[in-house]
Structure 1
Amino acid sequence: MSGTREKFRKMLRDGKFEDRMVEVSVQQSGMPSFEIFAGGSNMEDLESAMSNISSMLMGAGRNKRKTTSVKEARTIIMDDQLDKLVDHDKIVEEAKERVEQMGIIFIDEIDKVASKSERSSGIDVSREGVQRDILPIVEGSKVNTKFGVIDTRHILFIAAGAFSISKPSDLIPEFQGRFPLRVELESLHAGDFKRILLEPKNALTKQYKALLETEGVTVVFTDDAIDRMSNLAAEVNSTMENIGARRLHTIMEMLLEDISFNASNMTEKNVEIDRAYVDERLKDIVQDQDLSRYIL
């Protein structure tokens, strides 16, 4: 009997049963449970209780038999066993401690809630209300979450915004006082755009090359083409709205629009993008102030 078992074990390890169908017991996860948005601790308990009731009604936690291949069954059983080794209560406890002691919260687009003091329209009152809602959390308070109460006193808050229309001083004084360190970033220059086009692992030039290769088209960007695109991006940002590196997305899209559209029908599959090609596609648009507005 042991010899037969060893024989089957060897065949299983050699992958000879990968496509065989077997029955495994899997735990039903149920339908996604609904959440109740609450403000107090008692309501937080009610939310948890209602979620548990919803999961029970949906059949979560029950085991059912499922017919699947040996290959898939191995993954199901491994995930189930790994899950049993995890102490979820300890994970939640450690996560809460890390958040409270080492957490960093980044608030982007903070300039959108700034309003000038001389204006008193409805939208400005609403913006000030948002600042006052955020203020207690930044100052340090206890916030109820689905994992328990989080103390925000030691969490680092970082706020950022373009402030192209408003100024940091347009924020309410109490809010400004909670961000004592202020750093102003410089606008991107042509050299920065060039690095963005070349250095990242998923740079735009590499993405477009890979995309067009799926159509059998090989695109090569010359150094002078990269320089020209970088200069044009910096030029448009300086004369029009400064949207940073996002400018490169639309410049690349307009530059390769014809090639992308006709890639499957092109007879010449090797395309070199040089400075002359960039000027031909983009020079008139950049020089025309009205048309350059459409290079978002």
Structure 2
Amino acid sequence: MPDNNGNNQNNNDDDEYEKYCYLCRRPESEAGPFIRMPGNMYICNDCMQKSFDSFNNGAMQFLDLSKMPNINMSQFMPFDDIPTSQKVKKKKKQKEEKEQKPLTMADVPAPHKIKAMLDEYVVGQEYAKRAMSVAVYNHYKRVITDTMDDIEIEKSNMLMLGPTGCGKTYLVQTIAKILQVPLAITDATTLTEAGYIGDDVESILSKLLAVADNDVEKAERGIVFIDEIDKIAKKKETRSRDVSGESVQQGLLKILEGAEVEVPVGSGSKNAMTPMTTMNTRNILFICGGAFPDIEDIIKQRLNKQSSMGFAADLKDKYDKNDNLIKEVTTEDLREFGMIPEFLGRLPVLFTLDSLDKDMYIKILKEPKNAILKQYKKLLALDEVDLEFDDSAYEAIAEKAMEKKTGARALRAIIEKFMMDIMYEIPRDDNIGRVTITGDYINGKGAPIIELRGTNI
């Protein structure tokens, strides 16, 4: 905005953000020095030369410049008026970055320390936590060392399988919190092949860039979690173009492996009015997750190939009662499901998460550092009221959650329902000192046990 003297005040934007060309939308670090035009517009040398060439070659003979009205350059959007969400932060020089805060091995915890931190927040899933801890540790060793004795270390992208509500997203969120790196969580169901309705595959990187405050260097060391990856499986028996299935897998290949990608800034899709920047995905860790429904049938079919008649033969119903049959999954099963081999090859770390049983539900209620019941105890403690749950209450909540079959997400809905009346009534009476929740109250057969300060009721 202009000040009293008519000068522009950029609020130190010139120090943090770089300008981009009004025509090609490339930032100054890529296009080179800009030519400043009236109205605080900036055009790169390439676009200016192309404009001159168009005039000289007669490509714009249809324009009679003598009859054109005077152009008011103030009607164009100057760089100062562009929202911050669509500006690109200047890349810091590598030497300057190293002097400020170099990323060293001391910043990355060892695998056993990462798992110990995960244990504080995630119940069970021992194999998944070990696999993820090792993969993350190896990835950031690769980022820090770049090469090791001229041997290039490949990326440790991950593919995790597990039923809904078993903790896939929560594991990734906890990892990002431990390492203090940018994390972008996106849904594969919104992705389509470029040119069709939906988000381009580059929108995944746009979200990561936004989380990193449009700092490209910071984003290039982040983590991207693509959920519902099973929804882009190759469609079977279709004659139409598979724009949301196999085509999306093909589009993700170069991003997963590592490449220079043109990314729209502050937008989910490329268009003429969106500034672009270049991101290198070589050091970005990609984690894909999905429930892969009905893949158990594919696993059973593979395992039952040896079934036959006789005393030593495998029975066809041998695996019907195995709730964790997904543990037997292989890349062959995933290919049969509809994932293309090139895509699976770029996700070398494959592991599964266990389905939740009654004991795990009870542990989720009790043990995590930020368990939902601990949150409610803290809320009532602010009102100087103790909240207690007896063993029958834990079991009743777990049984109701198992009936819903939506995993740990069901716990919050169940607890919110029976805690609403308590949270509404408790602040009314300052004499209440303790509330004990019982299994009968959870099942709608009784009331909570209320104890007044100094007396019992």
Query: Which of the five TM-score ranges fits, normalised by the shorter chain?
Result: 0.5 to 0.7
Letter aligned with residue 369 of structure 2: K
Q: Which has the higher helix share?
A: 1
How large is the Cα RMSD of the aligned pairs?
4.8
* Residue 280 of structure 2 is aligned to residue 150 of structure 1: yes
Structure 1 residues 93, 216: CA separation in 2 closer, same or farther (over 3 Å shift)? closer
Runs of at least 5 residues in structure 2 that lack an aligned partner in the other structure: 1-9, 37-41, 43-76, 82-94, 105-139, 147-154, 156-220, 264-275, 296-332, 447-457
Partners of 1:115 and 1:127 within 8 A in 2: yes
Displacement of 1:174: 2.3
Partners of 2:389 and 2:438 within 8 A in 1: yes
* Residue 231 of structure 2 is aligned to residue 112 of structure 1: yes
Displacement of 1:230: 1.9
* Residue 428 of structure 2 is aligned to residue 265 of structure 1: yes
Question: CA offsets, 1:152-199, max 9 Å, x none?
Answer: 2x7654321112267842223321333355333221111111111111
Match of 1:245 among 408, 423, 427: 408
Q: Secondary structure at the match of 2:392?
A: helix
Structure 1 residues 127, 233: CA separation in 2 closer, same or farther (over 3 Å shift)? same
Structure 1 residues 251, 135: CA separation in 2 closer, same or farther (over 3 Å shift)? same
Runs of at least 5 residues in structure 1 that lack an aligned partner in the other structure: 1-26, 59-85, 238-242, 283-296
Partners of 2:233 and 2:339 within 8 A in 1: yes
* Residue 444 of structure 2 is aligned to residue 280 of structure 1: yes
User: What residue in structure 2 maps to residue 125 of structure 1?
Assistant: 243
How many residues are treated as equivalent by the alignment? 222
* Residue 289 of structure 2 is aligned to residue 163 of structure 1: no
Q: Secondary structure at the match of 1:126?
A: coil
Partners of 1:225 and 1:273 within 8 A in 2: yes
Q: Secondary structure at the match of 1:87?
A: helix
- Structure 1 range deviating more: 171-180 or 132-141: 171-180
Letter aligned with residue 417 of structure 2: M
Tell me, in whole angstroms, the C-alpha distance in 2 between the residues paired with 1:252 and 1:189. Answer: 18
User: What residue in structure 2 maps to residue 45 of structure 1?
Assistant: 30
Structure 1 residues 134, 252: CA separation in 2 closer, same or farther (over 3 Å shift)? same
Tell me, in whole angstroms, the C-alpha distance in 1 between the residues paired with 2:357 and 2:19. Answer: 47
* Residue 143 of structure 2 is aligned to residue 98 of structure 1: yes
Structure 1 residues 94, 225: CA separation in 2 closer, same or farther (over 3 Å shift)? closer
* Residue 96 of structure 2 is aligned to residue 87 of structure 1: yes
Tell me, in whole angstroms, the C-alpha distance in 1 between the residues paired with 2:346 and 2:389. Answer: 47
User: What residue in structure 2 maps to residue 206 of structure 1?
Assistant: 374
Partners of 2:258 and 2:280 within 8 A in 1: no
Partners of 2:365 and 2:394 within 8 A in 1: yes
Structure 1 residues 56, 136: CA separation in 2 closer, same or farther (over 3 Å shift)? closer
Partners of 1:106 and 1:157 within 8 A in 2: yes
Displacement of 1:268: 3.9
Larger relative contact order (C-alpha < 8 A, sep ≥ 6)?
Answer: 2
Displacement of 1:205: 0.8
Letter aligned with residue 227 of structure 2: D
TM-score of the pair, normalised by structure 2: 0.39
